Amino acid sequence: ELDLNNKLPLKGKTILVTAGPTYEAIDPVRFIGNHSSGKMGFDIANSAANLGAQVVLISGPSHCKVVNSSIQLVEVITAQEMYEACHKFYPDVDVAIAAAAVADYKPKNVALQKIKKAADSFVIELEKTKDILASLGDQKKNQYLIGFALETENEIENAKFKIKKKNLDLIVLNSLQDDGAGFGKSTNKVTFIDKDFNIEPMELKSKEAVAHDILNKIIAHFNILDR
């Protein structure tokens, strides 16, 4: 039988997505950042909205644009701002997907004035940022929680460790082995690992196609729940 609702399988669901890099200030004119474009997170947000979901997209500095009016874009700069925005929305969402490349460390002290060039060498002391995804895992109620993992060695083992440590339902392991994959590229080579450690390697494909694969995992999760 024809079920017209199937065209919008995520209707009634709210999905939080983090995207992009974070910028951690050194002084008023400088920061520590990374090469994340935000594209993966924006593609996920757009796909989710096209499938009927309400989306809250919390993004660090990015040139990507939202197209769908079902997406609420919350723009942040720092890891701390992203953390606060995530926790504001998290209690009310059905799914959270952490696609942001959050800085792991930030300068311990931010200079109030532009730092002048003086000595031949210069050290900036860094301290850890909050692990946003781990904190969402800690406070998880019924949310389906998805993280990413970027690894360059012992990929599967490290990704499994992150699933446990951050209390995830699914992790998207990003392989940089392939030349066409990852930061600043339009393609990704990913492997899905779920909380039962089922491993599903995917082909190298566009980030839009990876976004569709992730949304299909979410739809499958809700179909099992609703059965």
Nearer to ligand CTP by Cβ, of 50 and 59: the residue is 59
Residue/partner pairs of 8-11 with CB below 8 Å, 24 or more apart? 8/51, 8/52, 9/51, 9/52, 9/219, 9/222, 9/223, 10/48, 10/51, 10/52, 10/53, 10/215, 10/218, 10/219, 10/222, 11/52, 11/53
Q: Which helix (H) or strand (E) holds 46?
A: helix 39-50
Per annotation, catalytic residue among 34, 68, 158, 167: 34
Nearer to ligand CTP by Cβ, of 153 and 226: the residue is 153
Q: Are the CB atoms for 117 and 67 separated by under 8 Å?
A: no
Distance of CA 61 to the CA centre of its chain: 14
- 162 annotated as ligand-binding: yes
- Identify which range of 117-125, 142-150, 175-183, 200-208 contacts ligand CTP by CB under 6 A: 142-150
Q: Which of 26, 40, 58, 149 binds ligand CTP (CB under 6 A)?
A: 149
Minimum Å gap between C-beta 36 and ligand CTP is: 10
What part of residues 103-142 is at the interface with Ca ion (CB under 5 A)?
104
27 binds ligand CTP (CB under 6 A): no
148 binds ligand CTP (CB under 6 A): yes
Amino acid making up residue 84:
E
Catalytic (active site) residue 109:
no
Minimum Å gap between C-beta 110 and Ca ion is: 21
Phi first, then psi: what are they for 99, rounded to 5°?
A: -100, 0
- 166 annotated as ligand-binding: yes
151 binds Ca ion (CB under 5 A): no
81 binds Ca ion (CB under 5 A): no
What part of residues 98-137 is at the interface with ligand CTP (CB under 6 A)?
98, 100, 102, 104, 129, 131-133
CA-based end-to-end distance of the chain: 17
Q: Are the CB atoms for 34 and 21 separated by under 8 Å?
A: yes
Phi first, then psi: what are they for 113, rounded to 5°?
A: -115, 160
79 binds ligand CTP (CB under 6 A): yes
Burial of 147 (0-12, 13-18, 19+ CB in 10 A): buried
Q: Are the CB atoms for 53 and 13 separated by under 8 Å?
A: yes
- The site map against ligand CTP for 81-100 (x = CB under 6 A) is -----------------x-x
27 binds Ca ion (CB under 5 A): no
Nearer to ligand CTP by Cβ, of 7 and 164: the residue is 164
Catalytic residues: 34
Interface ranges with Ca ion (CB under 5 A)? 104
- Binding-site annotation: residue ranges: 104, 114, 148, 162, 166
